[in-house]
Copies of this chain bind each other. A is one copy, B any other.
Amino acid sequence: MATARLQERYGTAVPLRQMVSYRLSRLQAKLNAQATKILKENGDLTLMQWRILVMLDLYGEVTIARIVRETEFDKGLLSRTAKAMVQKGLIATKSNDSDLRQNHLSMTPQGRGVFDRAFAPMRGRQDKLLNSMSDEQRENLFEAFEMIENSLDEMRENE
């Protein structure tokens, strides 16, 4: 493989369009920028703050460890973000008597208000993104995500 590439080699690499990692990182950067902007304009949340609120909306009350298990976000980042959210009055913490390590997070009414305000535009943008494709395409896309992720997880194990 490397030997076949010894001469003229402009374009020996895969074309840009087909570079998975690059394509994804570019797409993700755009999604990120858009979400960040919408959130800033609708309650001034950061993306990670929004994500924590989503978890609280989904599960009602969660620990940081649970969020880590569900999402694989970094626990350090989560810890810092949660701290800031408590200071802003968006969430409350409650320690668990039967396990003193745990710290349960929950939305405050104010947090709920901010979440509700950001929800519609965030949902709207997601729908716009997905509405450009058919149900089947959408399902295929999520399947592809899973396949790639699985294959990444596998590679990580075999080393």
Chain A residues within CB distance 8 Å of chain B: 1-2, 5-6, 8-32, 34-35, 51, 54, 57-60, 69-72, 116, 119-120, 123, 125-126, 128-130, 132-133, 137, 140-145, 147-153, 155-156
Contacts and interface: CB of A to CB of B under 8 A. Distances in A.
A137 B132 contact: no
Contact of A2 (B70, B128, B133, B152): B70
Contact of A13 (B24, B54, B71): B54
Taking the full assembly, how many copies of this chain does it contain?
A: 2
A25 B28 contact: yes
Contacts of A12: 57, 119
Contacts of A22: 51, 71
Q: Which of A1, A34, A137 has the most CB of B within 10 A?
A: A1
A1 B125 CA distance: 14
B16 A24 contact: no
